[in-house]
Amino acid sequence: MTDLLLRIDGVSHRLAEADVWYLTRQRDGLVPTRRRCGAGELGHFVSRRGRWYYRTGDPAALPVRLNGRVVQDPTTRLPRGPVHLTWERPAGPVVRDVQRSGYDEAAIVRAVHAACPRYEDLELLLADDLRLELFHISPPADMRWVVDEVIRTARAYGWLTDLLTAVRFAHPREPALDPVMPRFDQESMVDEANGLSDPFAFAARLVRACPQVCQIDVTSGSRRSAGTGFLVGPHIVLTNYHVLRDVLDEPGSPARVAFTFDLHEHGDARFTRRAPLRLAVDWRLAASPPEELDYVLARLDGVPGYDELPTGERRGWLCPSGAAIARPSRGMRLVILQHPRGVMLKQAFGDVLGVDGAGTRLTHRVNTMTGSSGSPCYDVDHFRLIAVHRAGAADSGPAACNTAVPVQAIHADLTARRFDFDLLTDF
């Protein structure tokens, strides 16, 4: 075993090889101690394979001389034999991390004192959360003086933010902290509009909505096209007019259109839990051409809304009433459930860019592809139906944004047509 003989300002200290020794600044100078004290900690001494090393996080912040040489590296190998250490006291306080400026130190002292009125309270908080010894900063005394000394030490050595965060965590309801903490929060709500949301609530709503979306396949002669739709009644699908244009503009056999539910990934297998459905004989309930609202309500030859899913729940359908339909707004976060290019069900997220003056078109920045037309657009926060995606904003070529039809506009159009909403179970 090789101990280190360390001389600091003429005072000798013997450091046992088995321990890590922390060099700390105290009222009577520099002292090596086995207990860590971040308040005045300059670095630490450690023995590895019979040789001693001095390590410090920031050599330039608090200059230390070992045998007359200024420490310049984070790790310094010490010579064998006694080591003489001196410390160059900085002219002013050293700040190791950036603190927010413009704060009222008296207000911070009052806040910490209110949260930790007794010496034991502050001692426990520093020991548990910051691994600091309060006694090394200040012995027991009047608590306002003790807290003031802790604040000044924390500010000088760059852990004031950590201290306030620990106090807030331990005393989340302390009102005295409210005017102080915003200046020291290192995290920021950079986008108040998006806020924070509950992931479990979102996941539950997403799982509930996915079975209500279907892939639409249209065959016209040798040409095939694809789209997306979703249930708004037990057996009624809402999609874009242009998705079913071939059977709307040129009436023919409804067997040319197939609606497939539960088309999604399950491991590596491609499967569906339900056979494709066709259009009913009297399938057309309401429609608006592409140059207007570009929607169609189509009745199916089955009732998929009442299907029992593998979870034991009913598939269900979207049935927002007029009062519950959300108004889209710029910056609103959207999620679109879609079957791009007729493949498995996918999701994509993006923002609402704006709504036109007539309220009949919504532009958004959500990724879509051919086959996504007719997809439901939900707001991320509450998973309300906002719009029906229809196409890109450009007439030809890649579009910088996409367009959708607000459900508000569709509901208003159906109301003007005196549509029987009972068919949609209060759509």
Q: What is the pLDDT of residue 270?
A: 46
Convert the pLDDT of each residue in 412-425 to its tens digit. Answer: 999 999 888 777 76
How far is it, in rounded angstroms, from Cα 219 to Cα 125? 71
Convert the pLDDT of each residue in 119-164 to its tens digit. Answer: 999 998 888 888 888 888 888 888 888 998 898 888 877 788 888 8
Q: What is the pLDDT of residue 386?
A: 94
Which fold does the domain 212-306 belong to in CATH?
A: Thrombin, subunit H (2.40.10)
Q: What angle do CA 262, 232, 281 make, to 5 degrees?
A: 85
Q: What is the pLDDT of residue 118?
A: 92
Domains 212-306 and 322-424 share a fold: yes
Which positions ≥6 away from 311 have C-beta within 8 Å?
Answer: none
Locate the domains of the chain by residue range: 4-87, 105-183, 212-306, 322-424
Tell me the one-letter amino acid at 366.
V
Q: What is the pLDDT of residue 272?
A: 53
For the domain made up of 322-424, the CATH class stated in words is mainly beta
Convert the pLDDT of each residue in 368-381 to its tens digit. Answer: 999 999 999 999 98
* pTM score above 0.85: no
Residue ranges of the chain with per-residue pLDDT less than 50? 39, 91-102, 267-271, 323, 396-397, 426-427
